[in-house]
Amino acid sequence: QSVLTQPPSASGTPGQRVTISCSGSSSNIGSNTVNWYQHFPGTAPKLLIYSNNQRPSGVPDRFSGSKSGTSASLAISGLQSEDETDYYCAAWDDSLTGWVFGGGTKLTVL
């Protein structure tokens, strides 16, 4: 359904490092930057990472982003219980001439 592919779920224990993948194509991730969002349902989504690996001010350095080819990843180190929520990736798509999103990954902290 979504242009960018994310695993529907991910999990980890407190203190652990988890990664969430986002797979696309040459028209989106392969040629444009990737952004990541954290979303607690019912609230406004929050920008977590922009331009592949940049953190807005106020975002802890536990969150990091990377990109390689047509895939990107969000890494969360030192996992905390308050990190349990949904995460989305997004990128510009040259074919659409607009933004496309991943289907979202629900992170569970065990």
Residue 24 within binding range of other proteins, rule CB under 8 A:
no
CA dist 70 and 24 (Å) reads 5
11, 16, 26, 99: residue in contact with other proteins (rule CB under 8 A): 99
Closest to other proteins by CB, 54 vs 80, is 54
In contact, 79 and 13? CB cutoff 8 Å? yes
User: What burial class does residue 10 get, using C-beta atoms within 10 Å of its C-beta: 0-12 exposed, 13-18 middle, 19+ buried?
Assistant: middle
Residue 43 within binding range of other proteins, rule CB under 8 A:
yes
Closest to other proteins by CB, 26 vs 51, is 51
CB atoms within 10 A of CB 38: 20
Residue 6 phi, psi dihedral angles, 5° rounding: -125, 150
Closest to other proteins by CB, 13 vs 57, is 57
Interface positions with other proteins (CB under 8 A): 1-3, 32-33, 35, 37, 42-47, 50-51, 54, 56, 88, 90, 92, 94, 96-104
